[in-house]
Amino acid sequence: MAHTRTASGWAAHDPSGVVAPYTFKRRENGPTDVTIKILYCGICHTDVHHVKNDWGSTMYPVVPGHEIVGIVTEIGGGVAGFEVGERVGVGCLAATCLDCEMCRDGQENYCDKVQFVYNGFFWDGTVTYGGYSDFIVADHRYVVRIPENLPLDAAAPLLCAGITVFAPMKDHGLLETPGMRLGVVGLGGLGHVAVKFGKSLGHHVAVISTSPSKEAEAKQKLGADDFILSSDPKQMMARARSMDLIVNTVSANHFIGPIMELLKPKGTMVLVGAPQKPLELPWQPLIFGKRVIKGSMIGSIKETQEMMDFCGKHNLTCDVEVVSTRRINEALQRLADNDVKYRFVIDIAGGIES
């Protein structure tokens, strides 16, 4: 029987989704592991789905959280490149096979054996528990460094929200060629950081939203160049065939046909949200414009480190509302109601006695 140590955290125990204090076991720090004292953990929309078992895959009790930042407290003998006291982060990945084509090619986030940082299974067969807890033991291959100049609370959501929109922008050459035209659908946790990346990289950024109230914020606060109300056909038609890339962050069911018309011929829309129902895909904008629709899921660890370093260089972080551990349930509910600008982050260390 493997050695374990006791962790304190917060777990949901049933589909009511209510999170309560929970004590559980984590593995001892192994030769390739690092142990991290968690200081902050972002609240992702995925957490809301998992605590309520919306996707039918939740193993209760579930300790959510995959936007984890903290300080290294212990390092295994086989680990090079990390130091005790270093500021680090752990995102969605807990384990991959390390051996398949995707893993060898530095795209381990698409490994078909991928295991996530919570509600998954580690290599030793134990269930994974996420960042709503006082510490985590992570294999060093899934840990990234956080630049010194970034505040840890506002950096936490970069580990899921940030990399999810950064990776498709990198795939489509937005890191190399400035002056491209980027559309961002939805201005939430993912969308707001997509706008920041787009502007930092020197692109023309348009926000496409169903909420007129978001226009001022998109332009004045986040620096978007344009705002398009998707429910107004006139506004949509005026921007037809104008965009090179659209990052669609919306997870509510919505019709993508009119949004596809915003793409230039041969333009691409990348889906990163996960609507409940299958998409309806009209063939006209696809075929008449040789357009591409694809998906993308987070990013590799190498890409995540590249994004972190980019954020350090440009002083780029997320807009967050920090909540105490006593307010996790309230934050989950407000997130489900879309009542946050733009990401909740839990002050983990403030809520656990040291």
Under the rule (CB under 5 A), what is the footprint of Zn ion? Answer: 44, 46, 96-97, 100, 103, 111, 160
* Contact between residue 180 and residue 206 where contact means Cβ atoms under 8 Å apart: no
Least distance CB 269 / Zn ion (angstroms): 20
Beta carbon nearer to Zn ion, 58 or 96 = 96
Least distance CB 111 / Zn ion (angstroms): 3
Least distance CB 38 / Zn ion (angstroms): 16
Beta carbon nearer to Zn ion, 46 or 325 = 46
Least distance CB 79 / Zn ion (angstroms): 20
CA atoms within 13 A on the CB side of 305: 11
Cα–Cα nearest to 183, from 161, 217, 208, 156: 208
Q: How far is it, in rounded angstroms, from Cα 62 to Cα 229?
A: 38
Output the CA–CA distances (angstroms, integers) from residue 267 to 53, 252, 273, 291, 293, in the order listed. 36, 23, 19, 5, 9
Least distance CB 302 / Zn ion (angstroms): 14
* Contact between residue 163 and residue 299 where contact means Cβ atoms under 8 Å apart: yes
Q: Which helix (H) or strand (E) holds 90?
A: strand 87-90
Beta carbon nearer to Zn ion, 206 or 346 = 346
* Contact between residue 298 and residue 274 where contact means Cβ atoms under 8 Å apart: no
Beta carbon nearer to Zn ion, 111 or 331 = 111
Least distance CB 108 / Zn ion (angstroms): 6
Beta carbon nearer to Zn ion, 96 or 325 = 96
* Contact between residue 21 and residue 27 where contact means Cβ atoms under 8 Å apart: no
Burial zone of 216 (CB within 10 Å; 0-12 exposed, 13-18 middle, 19+ buried): exposed
Least distance CB 99 / Zn ion (angstroms): 6
Beta carbon nearer to Zn ion, 43 or 263 = 43
CA atoms within 13 A on the CB side of 149: 10
Beta carbon nearer to Zn ion, 78 or 106 = 106
